[in-house]
């Protein structure tokens, strides 16, 4: 028996059914079965599918045909000029008439940066919608009888009753070299006082992460220029290393120093500010400018006064900008400052969209929010161009609680974390890195041999020292070995202290650690250690450039170099006061 499917915009009355069934019964004397279906997007009328035959008597179909006929007429008129007619014909056939007609809806509620829309049955998650006045929105809630969307542009521009149409596209941002040196909002509009730029290429803000087969192992170091990090939690190109800590513990400082250190290293940078004070961001941009880092850096900025939807898309926009460089075979560093505020923006949006709240009132897909973002960081294989995107997401904790919801989520996504502590920060140990709780899960492979040699024992020594130091507070009589370990630990801690905006290159890092780890600072007073280190570095620059050169080229520290350093230390000590 033949099955014939009848799809109509609304339920058909008995008379219409009878007519249709009679029509098809005549075509199939062997008997036919009828299946009815309702699809509102057809607007009116019905269509029938009978095996390979397709009968279209819908309004939607009529409108489509009408538009095509109009188009054909226009082409006919213009056909005098040949080349043009051909182009127009091509354009018309590429143009998807269906979108304009089938996927439209009406705004039923607008407020707080979100809109509820009736209709739009064919729209997809994350699709870009356009209101009749040109305001853009992103569809986020796909419900049975409507769509919930967030407004990107001016949120007061939407009102109930507005027509909305889907575009079949995803929000895009301008990408490419023109972004370097610029500060843009999450939609890619420049917000610095420089002239506008030529947009040559756009990229969708959401994109799938590179496939497993497209990836390569992380094995090239990304030098942060911060001794404590490059020695104990080294970061590799393509890695995702979380910077986590309470407020005002120097999280941003580490990210900014890392950007400054990329000067002349062929790494492009993207700094994404999410929900920060405009003054903080402008301070950072000024620092980058002063140190000549804006030349290779793009800043994507959403301030605290921006709407939640804008803050929500900021990291994805920054990621798209970085992705463009990565797929062009370049190395990129991207900083998300910070993802806690991003999660909060997403939470407020979700609550307004009436999504069910989960733990800490975050919606159920909060993990996916950050995993899909951070998965886009990668080291690409040689076949895919060998580019890389290193991500430094920042997360703020409350009272050092790294087991809260967002911190644990992001910790589990990233390849390690640098944990900063208020207590250390206040004790003057800056950067305030807690060595015990900081790790880098790919690190070792991304360290040069020389650094591996000198930093091997560092982590263990430091944690032993911290433990001893706690006991030493109570004890009076300490044996010689313990005293020695304490003295050495104090000096190591001093060596690891570092000022802001003073990244160290890898040669100097290696030498300072070499000197410290070989206990050559024994006769230098603790309070003089930092002065000694800076002085010694400068002394090497002028008197022993060959040592630095040898480490730079060989990436290793040979016996010979070691002996030269010993000699240099001896000589410098005679002049050091
Ligand atoms: P917030 O939570 O406000 O974002 P944060 O954790 O990002 O703060 P920063 O803004 O980077 O912290 O640093 C806080 C303060 O500490 C700043 O005044 C900064 O100048 C200072 N600071 C950070 N790192 C160092 C350092 N290595 N040496 C001296 N001062 C530092
Ligand atoms: Mg900060």
Mean pLDDT by 10 residues, the chain (577 residues): 82 86 85 85 80 74 71 64 61 50 75 87 87 89 90 87 84 94 95 90 94 94 96 96 97 97 96 96 97 97 93 97 97 97 96 93 95 97 96 97 95 96 95 94 86 93 89 79 92 96 95 95 94 95 94 92 94 90
What are the start-end ranges of the E strands in 185-235? 201-204
- The residue assigned the tokens 């032993």 is 464
* 441 close to 548: Cβ distance less than 8 angstroms: no
At residue 166, the pLDDT reads 84
Identify the bridge partners of residue 128 per DSSP, sorted by sequence position: 138
* 530 close to 512: Cβ distance less than 8 angstroms: no
At residue 88, the pLDDT reads 60
At residue 82, the pLDDT reads 58
Distance 260 CA to ligand 2 centre (A): 16
At residue 24, the pLDDT reads 85
Per-state percent for the chain, helix, strand, coil, to nearest 5: 45, 20, 35
Instruction: Tell me the pTM.
Output: 0.83
* 444 close to 456: Cβ distance less than 8 angstroms: no
The response to whether residue 253 sits with its C-beta less than 6 Å from ligand 1 reads: yes
The response to whether residue 246 sits with its C-beta less than 6 Å from ligand 1 reads: no
Q: Which ligand is nearest to the CA of 429?
A: 1
The candidate with the shortest Cα–Cα distance to 435, out of 414, 450, 420, 423, is 420
Q: Retrieve residue 552's tokens.
A: 């730079």
552 given a catalytic annotation: no
Query: Helix, strand, or coil here: 500?
Result: coil
The response to whether residue 341 sits with its C-beta less than 6 Å from ligand 1 reads: no
Is the backbone peptide bond immediately before 457 cis, with ω within 30 degrees of 0?
A: no
Distance 342 CA to ligand 2 centre (A): 13
At residue 100, the pLDDT reads 36
- The residue assigned the tokens 């304490």 is 486
Distance 307 CA to ligand 2 centre (A): 20
- The residue assigned the tokens 């127009």 is 88
The response to whether residue 181 sits with its C-beta less than 6 Å from ligand 1 reads: no
At residue 181, the pLDDT reads 96
At residue 245, the pLDDT reads 97
């Amino acid at each position: 028996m033949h099955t014939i499917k009848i799809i109509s915009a609304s339920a058909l009355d008995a008379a219409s059914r009878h007519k249709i069934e009679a029509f098809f019964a005549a075509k199939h004397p062997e008997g036919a079965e009828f299946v009815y279906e309702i699809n509102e997007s057809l607007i009116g009328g019905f269509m029938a599918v009978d095996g390979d035959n397709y009968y279209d008597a819908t309004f939607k179909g009529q409108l489509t045909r009408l538009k095509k006929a109009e188009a054909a007429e226009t082409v006919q008129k213009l056909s005098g000029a040949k080349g043009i007619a051909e182009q127009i014909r091509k354009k018309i056939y590429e143009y998807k008439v269906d979108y304009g007609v089938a996927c439209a809806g009406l705004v039923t509620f607008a407020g707080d940066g979100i809109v509820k829309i009736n209709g739009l049955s064919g729209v997809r998650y994350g699709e870009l919608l356009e209101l009749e006045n040109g305001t853009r929105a992103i569809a986020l809630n796909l419900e049975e009888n409507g769509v919930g969307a967030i407004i990107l542009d001016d949120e007061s521009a939407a009102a109930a009753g507005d027509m909305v149409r889907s575009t079949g596209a995803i929000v895009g941002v301008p990408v490419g070299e023109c972004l370097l040196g610029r500060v843009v909002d999450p939609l890619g509009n420049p917000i610095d006082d420089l002239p506008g730029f030529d947009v040559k290429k756009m990229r969708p803000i959401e994109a799938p992460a590179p496939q497993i087969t497209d990836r390569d192992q992380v094995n090239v170091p990304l030098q942060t220029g911060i001794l404590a990090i490059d020695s104990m939690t080294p970061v590799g190109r393509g890695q995702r290393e979380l910077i986590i800590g309470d407020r005002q513990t120097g999280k941003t400082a580490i990210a900014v120093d890392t950007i400054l250190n990329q000067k002349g290293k062929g790494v492009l940078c993207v700094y994404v500010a999410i929900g920060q004070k405009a003054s903080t961001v402008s301070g950072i941009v000024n620092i980058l400018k002063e140190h000549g880092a804006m030349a290779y850096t793009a800043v994507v900025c959403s301030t605290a006064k921006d709407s939640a939807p804008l803050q929500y898309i900021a990291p994805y926009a920054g990621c798209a900008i970085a992705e463009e460089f990565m797929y062009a075979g370049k190395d990129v560093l991207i900083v998300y400052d910070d993802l806690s505020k991003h999660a909060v923006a997403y939470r407020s949006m979700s609550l307004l969209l009436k999504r069910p709240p989960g733990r800490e009132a975050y919606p159920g897909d909060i993990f996916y929010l950050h995993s899909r973002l951070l998965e886009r960081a990668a080291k690409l294989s040689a076949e895919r161009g060998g580019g890389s995107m290193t991500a430094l997401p920042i997360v703020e904790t409350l009272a050092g609680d790294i087991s809260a919801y967002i911190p644990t989520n992001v910790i589990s996504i990233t390849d390690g974390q640098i944990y900063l502590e208020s207590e250390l920060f206040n004790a003057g140990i800056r950067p305030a890195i807690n060595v015990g709780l900081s790790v880098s899960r790919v690190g070792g492979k991304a360290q040069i041999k020389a650094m591996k040699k000198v930093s091997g024992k560092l982590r263990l020594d430091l944690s032993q020292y911290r433990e001893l130091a706690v006991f030493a507070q109570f004890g009076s009589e300490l044996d010689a070995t313990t005293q020695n370990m304490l003295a050495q630990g104090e000096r190591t801690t001093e060596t690891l202290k570092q000022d802001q905006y003073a990244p160290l290159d890898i040669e100097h890092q290696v030498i300072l650690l070499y000197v410290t780890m070989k206990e050559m600072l024994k006769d230098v007073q603790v309070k003089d250690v930092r002065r000694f280190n800076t002085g010694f570095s400068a002394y090497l620059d002028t008197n022993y450039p060959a040592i630095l050169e040898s480490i730079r080229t060989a990436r290793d520290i040979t016996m010979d170099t070691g002996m030269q350093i010993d000699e240099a230390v001896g000589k410098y000590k005679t002049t050091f006061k």
